[in-house]
Amino acid sequence: MRVHRIETEFAGRPLVLESGRLAKQAAGSVLVRYGETVVLAAVTVSPSQSTLPFFPLTVEYREKAYAAGKIPGGYIKREGRPSDEEILCSRLIDRSIRPRFPEGFRNEVQVFVTVLSADQENDADVIGALAATTALGLSPVPWQGPLATVRVGRVEGNWILNPTLQQLEFSTIDLVVSGTADSIVMVEGGALEVPEREMLEALKVAQMGIRELVKAQEQLLARAGQPKMAWTKPEHDAALVAKVRAAAEARMAGAINAKDKASRGAGIAAVKAEVLAALVAEHPEGAKTIGAELDEIEYRVMRAQVLDRGERVDGRDPDTVRPIRIDTALLPRVHGSALFQRGETQALVAVTLGTADDEQRIDNIDVPGETTKSFMLHYNFPPYSTGEVRMIRGTSRREIGHGALAERALHPLLPQYEEFPYTLRVVSEILESNGSSSMATVCGGSLALMDAGVPMKAACAGVAMGLIKEGDKVAILTDILGTEDHLGDMDFKVAGTADGITSIQMDIKIEGLDLKLMERALEKARTGRLHILGEMNKALAAPRPDMSPYAPRIVTMQIKPDKIGDVIGPKGKTVRGIQEATGAKISIEDTGIITIAGVGSETIQKAQAMIAGIVAEPEVGRVYEGVVKSTTAFGAFVEILPGVEGLLHISELAHERTDKTEDVVKKGDTVQVKLLEVDERGRMRLSRKALLPKE
C-alpha cells in the first residue's frame, strides 16, 4: 500500500497527516503529527447491519504512558481502565462524529484513537479528534465528512488557535469546537465569566481554524480515500405505515401533552401497545415496521406542535423555565447541602471540606510529574431517578461527562487555594430526572458551596437549551425536558453567572448549525440563566459567614525551613505524636508552611502551641519549664525546648551553697529556669535561683 503524506502548518506548528504505513488492515487509519505529539486513529466497520434499534458506534481514546516517557504507577505496570480524561476525550470525539452518519445506518463502527507520543505542549485531544475524522473519511464507512476539531484560547485579549498547554494556564477561554467548513457540530469548553458576544467570537475564530484543517483533510482524502460501502436503508410497507398513522396520530397527540412525565410516558406507551397489538394481528410480519412508525409519529407530533403553535408537551411556551424549588442545609452532619428542583428534575448536592491530604493525585501524559486536584465534582445518576430498573456497573461515561461539565462551571468561581486552603468535594445525587440534570447539578452545587461557607465569587446557574428545526422553521426551547432532548435536534447547555459564561456544551443530531442560530440560542440561554439566578438568590444570596461546626478549620503557620526536621522528628515520630495528642491533621511543605486542620478551635490551638514550642528560639530573660536530662558534679543539663539544652550551673541552683547537684535536682525532674545568657558559641546559661526569693 502506498504511503500518502500531507505536510502543512497550523497555528504556527507543523502538522502532518499520513496514511498507508500503519494499521493497514483497519478499514481506515491515519497517523497525525502536530509538533511532537503523535496520534494514531483506526476505524473498523462490520459488513452487516446490526439488529439493534440504534446505531452501534464505539469510540476509544487511549493515552499510552510511554508516549510521555513514563511507566504506569501501581503494582500492575501497564495501562488499565481508561482514566476520566480519556473517557471525556472519547465522548468529545463521539459527539463530534455521530451526527454525520447517515440516518438508518446500523453497521457497527469502532473508532480507536491512540496517543503514541506526547510533547507536553500540544494537547492530544483535538489532535485525536482530527485523526478520528480523517480516518473515517479515508474508510469505506458512509460518513459525511470532512469535519475537524480545534481548540480556541484567549490570552491578554489575543485569540489563539490550538493554544499550548502552557498558554492555556493564562487563557480566559478554553473552547473545543468541531465542525465542517461552514457549520458547527459540537462545542465543549469553559471560560472565566465571558460574555455571550465573546463566546460567539470564539466560535467564529474556531470556524476559521476548522476550514484550514478541512482543506488538509481533503487533500489526503483525494489521494488515499476509498469508495464508500453500499448499504440499504430499511424500507417499510407504505400501506402498513398509512394504517399505523391513521390509528395512532390523533391518539398520540392527546397522550403526548400530559402535564407530568409519568402520565405522559404511560399514555404514549399505552397508545403504542394498543396500536401494535391491533395491527400485528393483521400483519404478523410487520411488527418492526409498526414499532418504528409509532416512534416516528411520536417524533413528528411533538415537533409539529412546537413549530406550528409554539406549544410544548408540558404546556409551556418556548422561553419559559419550569417552576423552581430550593432548600438548603438539609443534612445536619454534612458541611454544606442543597436540594435544587426544577420541574421534575431534582438534584441533592452535598459539599465536603477536606485538607491537602485529601487532594486527588493525577498522573497523566500532559506533565512530567504528578499533579494534584483540590476541587472535585461527582455526579451520580441512579436508575430510580427515572423510575427504571437496570444494571449498576460502576460510574458510567455519561456520569463522568456530566460531572466534568458541572465542575468546569463552578471551578472559576472558587477562591484561590491560598485564601481558602481546603480540598472541596461536591457530590450531586440525581433523585429525579426529566431533563437538564447536569444543569440542576450546577445550580445545586453553587448553593451547597455557599451553604458550606465557601467564599464563592458569585452564584452560578445553568440551563439546557433545545432546538427543533424543519426546513426554514426553527424553534429554540429554554430548559428542555427529557422528551424534548430525545426528540429534538440539539442539547445546548450553558452555565455561568450574571456576568458571563463559565461552561458550555453543545451536541446536535442534525448535520450542523450556523453561527446565527447559535447566537440566538446563547441570548435565550442568558435570559433563562438570569431568571434561575434570581430564584437562587431568594433562597441564599451569599455564602454563609460561618462554616458547619463539623467542618475542619484550617490555619497555617510559617516556620524556618531548617526547623522542619524538628517538627517531623525521627521517622515522623514527633508530628505523629502531635496528631495523636490533638486529633489535628498536619501537613508540612518544604518552604516551612505548616497547615493544621481540625474540628474545633481547641484542637488547632493545642497543635499550634505544640509546634510553636518545638520551633521556638531561646530568648534571654525568658522563663522556661525544662526537663533535667543529665547531672554532673558542676551542675545539670536542662532541655528547655525540644532538642535545646542549657547548663544549669551548680552555683545557680539555689542562693545557699549546694554541695551536690542531686541534692536539688535529679535526672527527669521538671524544673523552672531562667535563660541568663547565650554565648557566641550558642551555649546557654540557665538559673534556678534567679526565680527563688532571697531569704
User: How far is it, in rounded angstroms, from Cα 622 to Cα 325?
Assistant: 62
Domain with CATH 2.40.50.140 in the chain: 623-691
Contact 135, 110 (CB under 8 A): no
Sheet holding 107-117, edge to edge: 4-10, 13-19, 28-34, 37-49, 107-117, 57-63
What length is written for the chain?
A: 695
- Residues in contact with 300: Cβ distance below 8 Å, sequence separation at least 6, in sequence order: none
At 558 the three-state DSSP class reads strand
Cell matching residue 136: 473515517
Q: Measure Cα distances from 143 to 88, 99, 102, 231 in Å.
A: 22, 9, 7, 12
Cell matching residue 56: 452501534
The CATH architecture to which 553-615 belongs is: 2-Layer Sandwich (3.30)
CATH for the stretch 324-467+491-497+512-539: 3.30.230.70
pLDDT of residue 384: 95
- Mean pLDDT, consecutive 10-residue stretches, the chain (695 aa), reads 94 97 97 98 95 92 96 89 97 97 94 98 97 98 96 97 97 97 96 97 97 97 95 86 92 90 93 92 88 93 94 94 98 98 98 92 90 96 94 93 98 94 97 96 99 98 96 94 93 97 95 91 98 98 95 90 89 91 90 90 89 84 89 90 84 88 89 88 88 81
Q: 4-224 adopts what CATH topology?
A: Ribosomal Protein S5; domain 2 (3.30.230)
Sign of CA pseudo-dihedral 614, 617, 621, 626:
positive
User: How far is it, in rounded angstroms, from Cα 369 to Cα 367?
Assistant: 6
At 105 the three-state DSSP class reads coil
Q: Enumerate the β-bridge partners of residue 354.
A: 423
Q: Enumerate the β-bridge partners of residue 97.
A: none
| Biggest alpha carbon–alpha carbon distance for the chain | 125
pTM of the model: 0.89
- Give the HSE-up count for residue 581: Cα atoms under 13 Å, Cβ half-sphere: 13
User: How far is it, in rounded angstroms, from Cα 85 to Cα 165?
Assistant: 15
pLDDT of residue 20: 96
How many other CB atoms sit within 10 Å of the CB of residue 115?
25
Sign of CA pseudo-dihedral 262, 268, 271, 274:
negative
pLDDT of residue 236: 82
Cell matching residue 239: 400501506
pLDDT of residue 695: 66
How many other CB atoms sit within 10 Å of the CB of residue 105?
19
Q: 623-691 adopts what CATH topology?
A: OB fold (Dihydrolipoamide Acetyltransferase, E2P) (2.40.50)
Q: Which segments within 355-496 are labelled E, that is strand?
A: 360-362, 371-373, 375-380, 423-432, 461-470, 473-478, 490-496
Sheet holding 375-380, edge to edge: 324-328, 336-342, 345-354, 423-432, 375-380
Amino acid at site 221: L
At 615 the three-state DSSP class reads helix
Domain with CATH 3.30.1370.10 in the chain: 553-615
User: How far is it, in rounded angstroms, from Cα 489 to Cα 149?
Assistant: 21
User: How far is it, in rounded angstroms, from Cα 193 to Cα 83?
Assistant: 28
Contact 6, 216 (CB under 8 A): yes
At 362 the three-state DSSP class reads strand
User: How far is it, in rounded angstroms, from Cα 175 to Cα 190?
Assistant: 6
Domain with CATH 3.30.230.70 in the chain: 4-224, 324-467+491-497+512-539
Q: 238-309 adopts what CATH topology?
A: Arc Repressor Mutant, subunit A (1.10.10)
The residue among 145, 175, 184, 77 whose CA lies nearest residue 507 is: 184
Sign of CA pseudo-dihedral 384, 388, 392, 393:
negative
User: How far is it, in rounded angstroms, from Cα 349 to Cα 330?
Assistant: 10
Sign of CA pseudo-dihedral 480, 295, 510, 145:
positive
Radius of gyration of the chain (CA): 33
User: How far is it, in rounded angstroms, from Cα 346 to Cα 462?
Assistant: 14
Q: Which segments within 246-370 are labelled E, that is strand?
A: 324-328, 336-342, 345-354, 360-362
Cell matching residue 497: 453567572
pLDDT of residue 308: 93
Peptide bond into 146 cis (omega under 30): yes
Contact 284, 237 (CB under 8 A): no
- Scored b (16 or more CB within 10 A) or e, 277-299 reads eebeeeeeebeebbbbbbeebbe
